Every structure is written in C-alpha cells, then in structure tokens.
Amino acid sequence: MAEFEQIEGRFDYIIIGSGSAGSVLARRLSEDGSSRILILEAGTDKGSIFVDMPSALSIPMNTRRYNWGLKTEPEPHLGNRIMNLPRGKGVGGSSLINGMCYVRGNPLDYERWAFLGASGWNWSNVLPYFKRAETVRDDPGEHRGTAGPLNISAPQGRNPLFPTFLEAGRDAGYAISANMNDAQHEGFSPMEMTVSDGIRWSAARAYLKPSLKTGRVRVMTGALVEKILIENGRAKGVLFERGGKSYQANADREVILSAGSIMSPTILKRSGIGPGEELRQHGIDVRMESCGVGANLMDHLELYIQQECTQSVSLYKWMNALGKAYIGGSWLLTRKGLGATNHFEAGAHIRSKAGIGYPDIQFHFLPLAISYDGSSMAQSEGFQVHVGTKRSKSRGNVSLRSSSARDMPKVVFNYMSHADDWADMRRCVEYTREVFAQPSFDPFRGRELKPGSSTSADDELNEFIRANVESAYHPCGTCRMGSDEMAVTGPDCKVHGVDALRVIDASIMPQATAGDLNGPTIMLAEKAADIIRGHASLTDPDAPIPIDAKWRDRQRSRSVDKDISHDPKEIEAIMQAEPPVRMSHEQTDMEVAGA
C-alpha cells in the first residue's frame, strides 16, 4: 500500500458523500451533542448563482464542477446509444443539480419495499419521517410536516397551461388530487418543489450547513475515496486521496457510505465487497463475497411528447439572450418571477392498465418544448410532458473499469431489455396524446411536434422510443435492502457480512418509487439516522393507503377513495399482481419481443 498520512482527531462516524442522504445523516447524528463526524466529499463546497436559481437547473447539470460527467456504456436495446448520466459532485450531491421536483411516491411503493424484504419500511413506518423532514408553508395537508429542515414550495401557478393540463386530465377521466404528497398520490395534480423564497433548497442548505455550526461535523472536500478499510470483518476507516496525497481516517463506531447508486457500489467493490470473480479480475482482495453489489440497477426512463402552442403563453419568448437576462436580473434583485421556479408545476401519476393497483406512469408537464438538460429546443411556441414508466422490469449493472478511484465505473442500465417495457412506453405515448386531445387544450393545441401525428404503428413507436427515450436521472437499487442472496444490505442498512458498515442512499431501495427520488432519499436517511442512534422507530398506524376500489377492472377512475391501510389481503393482492423482478448472479439480457 502507498504511504498515507493519518487524519488528526478521532471520529465516531465517517460519512462518504455529502449528498441528499449524507447531509441528513450529518445533522441527525450530530444532534446527540457528543458524536464527532467526518464527511468525505469528492467535490467542492463552492456555490454558484446558477445552482441557487431554480430555473437555471440545466446549467449546473451540465457543469463538471458539480457533475461527475458520467456516461453509460452503449445501451444494447437502444441501438447502442451512449446515455448521459449526470450525478452530483459537491456539498449537496445531486440535490445541487436535480430538477427540484418533490414527490414522496405512492404509499404502496413502501409496502412493496417491505414485500421485497425491507421489513419495517412500510408506509406507516416512513410517513412520520417524511413529515419530520418537511416544512410545507403553503396550505399543508393533514399528512404533511411543518417544522422540518426541508423547505417545500407550492407552484407559482401563473402560466395558463398548467391548469389546462390538470383540467385535460379530468376531461380524460382521471382523478384530480389537490396535492400528490398529501392524502392522494394518484391522479393529476400541482407539483411541489424544493425551493424556498426563490432559492434552490438543497440537502446541504437544509441539513448540512446548520450542523457545521455545532463544531461536531467536519467536511473535507476534494476527498476522492479509494476504499473502505476492513480488518477482521469490521470497517475501521477510509483511505482517500486529497491534493495528490493519500490519507487515512478511522471511525470508532461506523463507516457510512452515502455516495449514491453509482459510486456506492463502486466503492464497495474497490474495498473488496462484491462479486468475487469481478474483484479478482482487477486484483482486489475479496473481503466479503456479495454478488448483488452493483446489480439490480434501475432507473426511470421518459419520453418528451411535444405539442405546438398556438398562443404566445409558453416560455418560448423568453428563450433568447434578452429574455434570459431579464429573468436572471429580476431573480437577482427579488428572488421572484420566472427565475424562482423549476417550471415543473403540474404533473400526474396514473396506472398503465387494469390490474395494476397503483400508478406506474408519471407525467411532468412543462410549458416549453425542450430537452431536460437544455441541449435542444423546438423552434416554436410549445409545451410538453416528460412521461415514462416507474416500475420498469429492465435491470442493469455497475461494474469496475479498474481498481483505481480515478477511473469511472462501467454503467449499463440494460434499458428496454424486457418486452413489457416496450408495451408500457407505447401506452405512455397513447395516454399523453389522449390528454392533449381534450377540449381544454383546444385554445392552445397546434400540431404534434414529437413524435409527430404520423407516428402511430407499434413498429414506428418502437423506433421513436429507441431513438429518443432519455433517463430521468433516478438510478437506484444497486445495494438493495433484503435478506436473499442478492441483497447487499439489511433493513437496518448494514452491509451483510461486514460489521460497522452501512450504506444509506438511493442504492438500497429495493424498488424505485413512483416519482422523483430526492424526497424518498431524504426520508430514507431520516429513518436510518434513528436506526443508527437506537431510537424507537416512528410510526403512524393510521397512515392512509388510498386506491381505486376497482383497480382490477379499470385503468383509470375519478375516484381514489378506498383506504386499504388495514387490509393486508388487498395489499398482498396488489403486490402479487406485479411479480418482482429477480436478478441472477450475472447480468443477463432478457428476451425482447415486439421491439
């Protein structure tokens, strides 16, 4: 081993990563008044007005200062396309570069976690932690938090296209929810954002920065973790590089890995925890054989269905140098106006077909026809939805490129490798077109820009999907909780077979939730902090689980008012209606039919 310097001081906990999970853990673990915490962050702690300004979200997303700059390997079922994979790098992690959409997910997402082996993570067990995290200022509902670190804002509601989208959903026969994060997730609804007084409310701003004032939390930026040090089956510390030198820091209690769904399994593998054959190929001593590390990789894919707008009400007129300067200048002076919103102010969660018990398709509505990362824009007034499936059956893998921390891992999502995903994506196009065709949109609807009205046959839609589908940037599942041979962590977030080591971030999710992942990741860390501290788990035995009573027979309903929170047989029936995807020890491509 190369020579290294020992970091001075003693630490109870070392947290790898200062993102949405790491920031939460630092604050909560420091609350006992005695714990000493070291956070190792590969990125910077320097901010930017483009990070703070919500509508400028595509700028930090495309800036290497805040983004690891990852790309996938060629995706075999998407014509070998190499996909963009932005992952946050810096104090705040991906909460510095995300779209700020706040979505808890559906209550049945967490029943599915428990069904897949994460006992104690049912909806009744996680709702109190969502509430503990939140401060909802605008008309909080019965099931919301009002005193948490995470400030959540309601949409501005100024653009007429947002209420039009919601009314079109009602016209198409879907339920309307006053707030998808309160009692009813399913249906068309306004969307909340992690914005406070016009500023991006990152996890670092919400949790980490206040904890630094205690003097019990130390952050080392520019710290590239090489590996976790394991002796006699116990994590004792971390070896990392900083400024061209190697350093070691030791943890008296635990090492906590919160580096995200791509970097957490990569660090585990470099530390000797993972599939033995892969580790030996890179000259890494196997400390703990764990075949599930890096497997079970899942994501949310989405399509942009774009429509021309016949009135000058979209954001198109602002997408020039003068318009952007006006938005930016107004925001700098007042923290208000178009600069103070992420522009995703309306959305929906619907079911793909009868026999699906809770939503597996999500819409984000945007009053502009543009790609998520801002790299391409339609040359006319327009609007769009980002639409995609939430429980894809395709699974991928994160593997090592080498044993060096300087080499980024190989990431293959294996997108669209299951035949069901193609049928579900085609339904996404069908349902979007149906919503846009409703009378509510008559005053605004022009021609369909993308995919174009002539694209209708299955083979034509498949080709459109193959060429245009994009990641929603929600990777998860690569160190999932459970008790079977492919599970990496238990419900207590401990790594199986290694003492004093936990993984706490989106990588331990057994299944992606029906919505954006930032909110669930923060909740996950809130609950995990209580587990670490030995606190009694918060629970709400009356946490409601509303569904469409006739979910077996219909794809949509205006009524989502049957509470099954005390009906375990009905919950079981919904779980069994969608058999879980099980990954073998080796990443394999599933047979693709009709694509």
pLDDT tens-digit readout, 342-400: 999 999 999 999 999 999 999 999 999 987 677 777 888 999 999 999 999 999 999 99
CA quadruple 10, 13, 19, 23: dihedral positive or negative?
A: negative
- Is residue 4 pLDDT above 50, yes or no? yes
Average pLDDT over the chain, rounded to an integer: 94
Judged against a pLDDT cut of 70, whether residue 593 lies above it is answered with no
3-state secondary structure 430-446: HHHHHHHCCHHHCCCEE
pLDDT digits (tens, 9 = 90+) for 388-445: 999 999 999 999 999 999 999 999 999 999 999 999 999 999 999 999 999 999 999 9
Q: What is the mean pLDDT of residues 255-279?
A: 98
pLDDT digits (tens, 9 = 90+) for 27-54: 999 999 999 999 999 999 999 999 999 9
pLDDT at position 586, please? 44
Reduced to 3 states (helix: H, G, I; strand: E, B; else coil), residue 508 is: helix
The residue-averaged pLDDT of 531-548 equals 97
Nearest-angstrom CA–CA distance, 113 and 120: 9
Q: Which of 540, 572, 493 is nearest to 125 (CA)?
A: 540
- pLDDT tens digits for 147-192? 999 999 999 888 999 999 999 999 999 999 999 999 999 999 999 9
Cα–Cα distance for residue pair 139/87, rounded to 1 Å: 33
What is the pLDDT, as a whole number, of residue 439? 98
Residue 583 has pLDDT above 70, yes or no: no
Per-residue pLDDT tens over the stretch 195-208: 999 999 999 999 99
Of all residues in the chain, the percent with pLDDT exceeding 70 is 97
| pLDDT the model gives residue 137 | 84
Q: Please, which pLDDT band fits residue 463 given cuts at 50, 70 and 90?
A: very high
Which tokens go with 60? 């930090």
Average pLDDT over residues 510-536: 98
Residue 522 has pLDDT above 50, yes or no: yes
- Catalytic, out of 77, 185, 474, 535: 474
> In the predicted model, is pLDDT for residue 587 greater than 50?
no
Per the annotation, the verdict on 386 as an active-site residue is: no
- Has residue 594 got a pLDDT over 60? no
> For 479-486, what is the mean pLDDT?
96
Mean pLDDT, range 114-129, rounded to an integer: 98
128-137 own/partner pairs: CB under 8 Å, 24+ apart:
128/538, 128/539, 128/540, 129/523, 129/526, 129/527, 129/530, 129/538, 130/104, 130/519, 130/523, 130/526, 132/526, 132/538, 133/24, 133/519, 133/522, 133/523, 133/526, 136/192
pLDDT digits (tens, 9 = 90+) for 274-295: 999 999 999 999 999 999 999 9
Nearest one of 539, 531, 530, 519 to 130, comparing CA atoms: 519
pLDDT over 60 at 595, yes or no = no
pLDDT band at 580 (very low <50, low <70, confident <90, very high): confident
Tokens of residue 508, six digits: 């331990």
